[in-house]
Structure 1
Amino acid sequence: MIDAGTVRRIVRVADLSPDDVVIEVGPGLGSLTLALLPAAAHVVAVEIDPVLAGQLPITVAEREAADSLTVVNADAMKITLDDLSGHTPTALVANLPYNVAVPVVLHVLEVLPSLRKGLVMVQSEVADRLAAGPGSKVYGVPSVKAAWYADVRRAGPVGRSVFWPVPNVDSGLVSLVRRDPPATSASREEVFEVVDAAFAQRRKTLRAALASWAGTAADAERTLRAAGVDPSARGEQLDVTAFARIAELRP
């Protein structure tokens, strides 16, 4: 990312407070990191590339207070709170690699319950999927799972010219504000299992799509009716709360 205006915009839209501890995934050469440091109490940068992870503290030391930065050389898909050197992040701000954006967001929200908010830059189509609501053509597994953790919305487009080299896709900003998951006796894993089953065959009715999950199509229909869901509906019509109701009534 080479456009200073876009970097400043990301920090502004992230709405950080001086008390926030930011986790940044994939800092690369540190253009966003340098802008985050003055806006937060601390930045924990998770970088999988050992060369970049080694260079980032040097880059920061030349321009900012290096003691406000912790660099963790690790795979963001595998981190836990124990990997963050005693820091407890309150905000996620990152320019995420397109191919891992959704799993990184979901993993970080799962393992870092201290996160209260986030702003991520992702491929435009991924931003659409994350922020989609029921009934949208792009509403699917990422939409529902993200909604388990947070209120998710598009926070603006990002043009291709802010990057070097220029990518072949447009980007978008996605805002996340943590909220409590639906009140349910089902676990997150149980709810996500229903979601996966419902969208594995998204053109099928829920009665058919959930047949294997419930045992039989008849079992699926009884469960759906008990949850107040039309068996002829499709997964794209349900919000995360409806999926939770279905999960807790599994035969």
Structure 2
Amino acid sequence: MVSFSGVGLGLRRDFIDTFLNAETHPDFIEVAPENWMNLGGRHAKLLAQCVEKSPLLCHGLSLSIGGPHPLNIEFVQQIKDFLSKYQVLTYSEHLSYTHDGGYLYDLLPIPMTEAAVKYVAERILRVQDILGQRLVIENVSTYLMPHAEMSEADFMCAVIAQADCELLLDVNNVYVNSMNHGSNGYAFIDAMPKERIRYLHIAGHEQLSEDLLIDTHGAAVGDSVWKLLHYTYQVCGVKPTLLERDFNIPTWSELQDELGTIKHLQKQHFDEKVTQPIFT
């Protein structure tokens, strides 16, 4: 397993030229492989140029790991080829389902039951066998919790344990769910298996009402999410952290400011760890 660290940025075509011409670059970048793996010509060349600037991670959209239909093995093999072609450091997917006879273009929640844990874990294990590496699963934002028999935290931990996979901990999704479902985001962070956290996501959201937040990736990161990231570093250690921005793309300077805030928080926690007294 190739390690990576620092601060990353979700690469979007809206600013790809600016990214390539920038004086400094993020420690790593991330793309949805579905948006790139069937493209050639100029787009393939641009992605290759980006990978020369920053190491690449892939965050998938279409695996539908919790879906009711059989896994698309041909698709998984295409993913494997793409990971090899661009020397991708890790491949993550959402713990949700996106396919019901056709792609739904949304991340739908999985019923949080013991039966679902077993079903999803078996599918993850099969994907890992094909890829020859661990899959990294992400906690998703939800607006309903259908047929839930266990908490989201317990469900996540059970899937990770049974599938022997890793975790992409999305801090914004933790906060969104805590507001939407009246749960405790800090307790969720506490419950996560720290040794299985591969990296973190952070993003902005839209508040439609006092108790309804939508995970849009279309706004600046809010103060409450920054505080939760700060807490995550405290209890989980400083993990590689990636900024997502999919809509209402701001200026490159504004993106750099948010990346700078992540760097500042990481440095703060590194400094605190170094300056702590050692007792024998």
Q: TM-score, normalised by structure 2?
A: 0.30
Bigger Cα Rg: 1
Alignment TM-score, normalising by the size of structure 1: 0.32
